[in-house]
A and B are shown apart, each in its own frame.
Chain A
Amino acid sequence: MDWSWLPKYLPMLLQGLSITIQILVISMVLGLTLAVPIGLVQVTGPKWLSRIAQAYCTVMRGTPLLIQLYLFYYGVGSILATFPELRQSIFWPILREGYFYAILAFALNEAGYAGEIMRGAFLSVPKGELEAARAFGMTPFQVLRRVWLPRALRNVLPTLGGETILTLKSTPLAALVTVVDLFGAADRVRQETYIIYPPLLLVMAIYMILTFIITRAFAVVEKQIPSRR
């Protein structure tokens, strides 16, 4: 195995690693934030809103992420490019970047998967606890913030850990829309030096380490939660 490329490309790989982590964290945070209302309206919302949320989850979970990403990057991107006002605006440097579309696609996709999880999570909180909170005179928003959401999140923490790993494993798709993430960097090495296996094996090992770290981190957080089982 030829590792002579490593010193030259190491900075690019590290830069790629940081991009991968950025994409993962930003899209996870955005996705989960969106997932809370998506899950909530399916449990308590009016019927039409609940239907929309359900349809959203079905579409996001029923189509390949790659197609969603291309739809945003090439599809929406090419439509946006037809507006000259937009091309001259200060937003254009962002709207041109694959990085932006990758985060958008991953966050919306994650919201679909996590929305379904949050629906189950909200349902799993015992009714009595919500009634008790209401009996204390809490407003609906206070019930959500102090009782319902924390209890729901606690119940699905392990599932969300798995979801984070799945999102990590979809981040290399960003390389297909010109983002030089960890996988993109390895791909660049392959294109420039024709060395195939060592860079791919190296990033494979890094992805395994990241998966391990995420697993451990969620285990630590889970331990913080006092529970009687």
Chain B
Amino acid sequence: MFPSVLEFGKTGFGDELARGALSTLLIAASSFIIGLVLGQLGAAAKLYGGPASRFIANIYTTVIRAVPELVLILLLFFAGTKGISALGVAVGYGPVDINGTFAAILVLGFVQGAYATEVIRGAIQAVPVGQIEAARAFGMSGTQVFTRVILPAMLPNAIPGLANLWLVVIKDTALITVTGASAELAQMTKNAAGFTKRYFLFYFVSGCIYLAMTLVSNYFISRLEAYVRRGQPKLA
């Protein structure tokens, strides 16, 4: 019943798929964190920045969100690996060969950052101005206002959008296969399916693994959402 090509060990591709799934989660998590940092910076630039930083942040979010991820990944992958390699030559280190996984993380993180910027910006803007003014009136410093008032008040608004981005980045990791430079789940599936010629089986199994990641994430997301919304009235 259980197809032998899915067994773990030398004869099957089970362990390859498992390693691919781990790699997918690693790439997704790292890109998500990079995206959060970039999003935080982007939102700060858009809300509190001067004309120059606002302009740059606007270009960043407009361009990244209007161009297909596949095109961006290919473009940034070639440009990024070439750029870093050139940088290595410039500082006298010699040409650098970048690890495909590492490049993928940077590229996906850069793309995520544009979407995260909009989510975080919207969430901050949804915090009633009065609350921020009240915090200032108490004599809080900028950092205190952010950590004590803005952050806890914006999280309920930001979590659904950010959760969505997490689900998107898991699925976007599959696009890295176009560069052929990484060993995540989609690439492993492609290798296994091509080797055994059992395309339907492997793409089906791989789809199930992605679905499991999504469903498990959904469970934790709803727990997290309930936590950050504690003490607030229920949504209709």
Contacts and interface: CB of A to CB of B under 8 A. Distances in A.
B200 A78 contact: yes
Given A78-B199, A197-B75, A62 B68 contact: no
A197 B79 contact: yes
A66 B79 contact: no
Contacts of A62: 167, 210-211, 214-215
B68 A76 contact: no
Interface string B206-232: 110011001100000000000000000
Interface in A70-112: 70-71, 74-79
A173 B201 CA distance: 21
Contacts, number: 103
B151 to A, nearest CB: 28
A1 interface: no
Q: How large is the interface on B (under 10, 10 to 19, 20 to 34, 35 or more residues)?
A: 35 or more
Given A62-B211, A62-B215, A63-B214, A71 B68 contact: no
Contacts of B78: 196-197
A203 B200 contact: no
B175 A66 contact: yes
Nearest to A212: B66
B200 A71 contact: yes
A173 B70 contact: yes
A67 B68 CA distance: 17
Interface in A41-80: 58-59, 61-68, 70-71, 74-79
A200 B74 contact: yes
Interface of A: 58-59, 61-68, 70-71, 74-79, 165, 168-173, 175-176, 183, 186, 196-197, 200-201, 203-204, 207-208, 211-212
B171 A70 contact: no
A171 B197 contact: no
B146 interface: no
B71 A204 contact: yes
A79 to B, nearest CB: 6
Contact of B174 (A64, A169, A211): A64
B177 interface: yes
A70 B72 CA distance: 21
Given A62-B214, A197-B75, A208-B67, A71 B178 contact: no
